[in-house]
Structure 1
Amino acid sequence: MAIKLPEISPFKARVEEIDRMMNAPDFYSDARRSATLAREHMKLRQLLDNYAALEKAKKQLAENEEMLEDPNGDDELRELAELEIPELGDKIEALEKKILAAMIPPDETDSRNTIMEIRAGAGGDEASLFAADLYRMYSRLAERRGWRVEQMSASESGIDGFKEVVFSISGEDVYKALKLESGVHRVQRVPETESQGRIHTSTVTVAVLPEAEEVDVQINPNDLEITATRASGAGGQHVNTTDSAINIVHKPTGITVYCADERSQIKNRAKAMKVLYARILQVKQDEERAKYAENRKKQVGTGDRSERIRTYNFPQSRLTDHRIGLTIHSLTAVMEGELDEVLEALQAEDQRLKIEALMTSTKS
C-alpha cells in the first residue's frame, strides 16, 4: 500500500531559499554557516531527486497496470509489464522510506561537538571503578572514529576510579552518535575485593550535552559568581600552589561548574565556561522536551537520567539496552569501544519513531 507522504512544496521552497543565499556575494564570509547550508542544500537536492524518481516509478507502475487491464494489448508487452510490477513496487517502497527519513526535521545539534559527564551512582567504590571503565570505553570509541577527547575536570576516587569525570569529544557528528547514551548505566560483576565471589550491582550516570555556542545561550555576566581557589589533589607535584582552580555558579539556575585540570586560571575558566554553556543549553532543551514528552513516552533518548537504560553483565559477557530490547554477548569488545552495533540500533529505532511521528502529523 502506498504511503501518503508529507507535502513536498516546503522542501522545494527551502532549496530555492538556500540557492538565493548561496548566490549572495558575502555567502562564504561565514565559513561555518556556509558549510552548514551547503550540507543542507545537498541533502535537500537528494530528497527532491528521490521524490522525482518516486513520481516516475509510480507513473510507470500505473501504466503497467493499465496495460494488463487492456484486453486488446500486445501479449508480449503485457507479459513484460507484469514482470516489472513487483520490481517497481519494491522500488517505490524503498524510495518512500528514503524520502520519509530525509523529511525528518534535522536536529541542529547533531553536528555539534559533545561534552560528556560520567558520575558514580549507587555502589560505592565499584561504581567509581565502572565510571572509569565507561570513560575508557568512550575514549576508545572516539579513538576508533578519529574523534578527539579532552578531559575537562575529574574527581578521582583514589582507587583508579572516578567519582565524576567531565570531558569533551570533538569530531564529525559526535553528538548525533552519542546523544542516546544519556541515562543510568547499570553494571553487574564480581568486584576484585569480593572474596566470596558474589555479584554486585552498581550504577553510573552518563549525561551527554551538545557543546553550546554563545548564540544558543545568553549569559549575563552579573548572573555569575566566579571564585578562584587553590586546586586540591593527592599531593606531590600535582597540587597547585596558586589559586588557579575556578568555581563558577550560575545564580538563576544554581548550576555550579568547577575546573582545576589546568595550571592556568585562564584556561580553567575557559573550560568551565564551556561546560556551563552546555549545561544551561541542556536545561533549555529539557524544558522544551517536557512540553510534549507525555506524547512521546517511547521516544529513545529523552535524556531522562532516572531511567535505567542499559545493563552490563560481566559474568555472562552480556550487554542489554532496555529501551530497544537489544542484547549482545560481546561485552569485552564493547568495553574496548566497539559500540557500533548498539549505537546503530538506537539510531535506527530513533529514526523509526520520528518517521512514525511525522506520518501521524501528516494524517492529522
Structure 2
Amino acid sequence: MSENTLLSRLEGLQLRFEEVGLLITDPAVIGDMKRFVKLTKEYRDLEKIYKATLRYKQVLGTIEEARVILETENDAEMKEMAKEELDNCNSTLPALEEEIKLLLIPADPEDGKNAIVEIRGGTGGDEAAIFAGDLFRMYAKYCEIKGWKIEVTSFNEGTAGGYKEIIFTVSGENVYGILKYESGVHRVQRVPATETQGRVHTSAATVAVLPEAEEFDVEINEKDIRTDIFCASGHGGQSVNTTYSAIRLVHIPTGITVQCQDEKSQLKNKAKAMVELRSRIYNMEHQKYLDEIAGKRKTMVSSGDRSAKIRTYNYPQGRITDHRINYTIYNLTAFMDGDIQDCIDHLIVAENAERLKESEL
C-alpha cells in the first residue's frame, strides 16, 4: 500500500471518527440503545486509528521538513540535526505503517466480548478429568493476573478429582479476543496419580471458548424455552443444596440445553443460564462465520475448530508445545500457574501476520 493510498484511506476514517463523535452525543441516538451501543464501539475502534493517524502525519511532516533543511540550509550543524531527525523518522515509519495496516484490517467483531469457557475431560478417564481440573486452575490463575472475573455456571466432578466438565464465564476487557486461541484439544503426557507402574500416559481435554452474546445480539422468545427446576449437587455435607434452585433451560427450536446451579437463588441461576443460552444460540451463527474464514485461509491460528489438537503438556520434560505455531518452552510449572501470556502473544503475532498477508493479496 503506497503512502498516498494509505493517507487517503486514513483521511476518510478521520472524517467518520468525527461524525460518530457527534452522533453519540445526539439525544435521538442515545435514546436508541441498540444504535448507541454499536456507535460507541465504532468510536472506540476508530479512536485507535485516529491517534495512529496523527502520529503518522507528524512523522511524515518531520521527514518533509528535514529534507527541505538538507536541500536549502548551509549551516553544517543544522544539516547534521536534520539528518539525524530524518534517520530517526525513517526508522520508525515502517513500524508505524505496519501498525496502521493492522488497524485498518476489520477486527473480529466478537473480540471485545466476554467469554463462556467449557472444559471437558476427553480420552483418558480419571486422568483426563484431573487434567481438565488443572486447565481450569490454569485459566483461573491467568484471569486473576489479568484482573478478569470468573463465574462458574455448572460442573460435573470426576471420581478421582478434577472435572468431567466445567463451564464458566469470564468478564473483563477484550476477553474473547484473547481466550479464543485456547479453543481446541489440549493433550497431557505424564504419569497419572492412579498409575502404579510409573508409566507415562497420554490423556486429553477439550476447551471451547464462545463469545458471550449481549441482549442486542440475539432475541429469544420466552415461549420457545422450557424451564426445569431441580436440586443442585454439591461436594457433600452442608454444601449440598437441598432447595430447588438449580435451573435447566431447553431452547425447543434448536434443542440447546444449558443449566446453572452455582447460585443459591433460583432467579440468579436463571439469569446466568439465560446468558449462556443466548450465547450458544448466537454461537451457532458465529461458527458459520469462523468456518467461512477458515475456508479462505490455508493456515488459521484461531479457527475455532474444537477437534484440532493445539497444545501438548509434557510433564517428564517440563515442556509445553503449541502445534499451531511450533512454539515450545520449558517452563511448564509456571505455565500451569497461569503464565500463558507469552504463548498467546506469539499466537496473536502469527495471526496478525496471516491477516496482513491476506489483506495484501
| Contact 1:57-1:91 within 8 A present in 2 as well | no
Matched with 2:356 is 355
Matched with 2:58 is 53
Q: How does 1:227-306 map to 2 (within 5 A)?
A: 227-233=228-234, 235-306=236-307
Matched with 2:328 is 327
CA distance in 2, matches of 1:254, 1:85: 64
| Contact 1:57-1:92 within 8 A present in 2 as well | no
1:62–1:308 Cα change, 3 Å: farther
1:96–1:61 Cα change, 3 Å: farther
1:95: Cα distance to partner?
Answer: 1.8
Counterpart AA for 1:241: T
CA distance in 1, matches of 2:38, 2:293: 30
1:42: Cα distance to partner?
Answer: 3.1
SS of the counterpart of 1:8? helix
1:258–1:198 Cα change, 3 Å: same
Q: Which sits farther off after the overlay, 238-247 or 321-330?
A: 238-247
1:64–1:200 Cα change, 3 Å: farther
| Contact 2:229-2:246 within 8 A present in 1 as well | yes
Q: Which sits farther off after the overlay, 196-205 or 233-242?
A: 233-242
Q: How does 1:27-46 map to 2 (within 5 A)?
A: 36=41, 39-46=44-51
CA distance in 2, matches of 1:347, 1:319: 17
Verify: 1:11 aligned to 2:13, yes or no: yes
CA distance in 2, matches of 1:224, 1:172: 31
Q: List alignment gaps of at least 5 residues for structure 2.
A: none
SS of the counterpart of 2:305? coil
Instruction: Count residues in correspondence.
Output: 355
| Contact 2:62-2:89 within 8 A present in 1 as well | yes
1:325–1:63 Cα change, 3 Å: farther
1:78–1:47 Cα change, 3 Å: closer
1:286: Cα distance to partner?
Answer: 0.7
Matched with 1:225 is 226
SS of the counterpart of 2:9? coil
Q: How does 1:123-134 map to 2 (within 5 A)?
A: 123-134=124-135
1:248: Cα distance to partner?
Answer: 1.5
1:85: Cα distance to partner?
Answer: 5.4
1:237: Cα distance to partner?
Answer: 2.9
1:61–1:298 Cα change, 3 Å: farther
Counterpart AA for 2:128: A
Q: Which sits farther off after the overlay, 116-125 or 293-302?
A: 293-302
1:358–1:246 Cα change, 3 Å: same
Q: Which sits farther off after the overlay, 93-102 or 77-86?
A: 77-86
1:199: Cα distance to partner?
Answer: 0.9
CA distance in 2, matches of 1:269, 1:83: 65
CA distance in 2, matches of 1:231, 1:80: 74
1:194–1:61 Cα change, 3 Å: farther
SS of the counterpart of 1:192? coil
SS of the counterpart of 2:188? strand
1:83–1:192 Cα change, 3 Å: same
Matched with 2:171 is 170
Verify: 1:200 aligned to 2:205, yes or no: no
Matched with 2:26 is 24
SS of the counterpart of 1:169? strand
Counterpart AA for 2:340: L
SS of the counterpart of 2:150? strand
SS of the counterpart of 1:186? strand
1:91–1:153 Cα change, 3 Å: same
CA distance in 1, matches of 2:29, 2:102: 28
CA distance in 2, matches of 1:291, 1:34: 26
| Contact 1:18-1:41 within 8 A present in 2 as well | no
Counterpart AA for 2:23: M
1:64–1:189 Cα change, 3 Å: farther
1:98-146 CA distance string (max 9 Å, x none): 2112223233332322211111111111100000001101111111222
SS of the counterpart of 1:209? strand
| Contact 1:61-1:89 within 8 A present in 2 as well | no
1:2-24 CA distance string (max 9 Å, x none): 67648224312321222322443
Q: Which sits farther off after the overlay, 218-227 or 77-86?
A: 77-86
Matched with 1:94 is 95
CA distance in 2, matches of 1:289, 1:112: 16
Q: TM-score, normalised by structure 1?
A: 0.86
